[in-house]
Structure 1
Amino acid sequence: MRTTLTLDEDVAAKLKAESRRAGRPFRDVVNETLRRGLASRRITARQQPFKVMARDLGNLKSGLSLDNVAELLDHVEGPLYR
């Protein structure tokens, strides 16, 4: 199919450079680039959203609290954790 396509200057320059580098016709480079771009969009759309599964970590030792993370790190890793 023949069509007229207006490319931004930076995109056209990159496509021309790739065409010269690969020694392939400009239209082949444009078609391949478009195919790859369209295929990657389909793959991204199929991915499931990331979900965090919460789980019980058990009881903390007496005197420790998850409300003060700095104090907890100091107790577990020592004063040089920073």
Structure 2
Amino acid sequence: MRTTITLEPDVEALLKRAMRERGVTFKDAVNQAVRAGLNKPVEDIPPFKQRAFHLGAPLEDLTKALALADELDDITHGWVPRG
């Protein structure tokens, strides 16, 4: 298949290095790189881990705002408190 690709400068440098070290053409270097990337099993990729940070005490008391939001949600969905 013939196609046009736009390479970022760092990828271009890596491909040129692979061409030089392996003595292969640009086409072969690209095909080898794509095969290596696509053949890597997904389970070999470490899972993403998100670090959590304690943000401290809230700066504002949201009790009234949360109560109002809860009340508006009840009204919106047709439930109105009795009494």
TM-score for the superposition, normalised by structure 2: 0.49
TM-score for the superposition, normalised by structure 1: 0.50
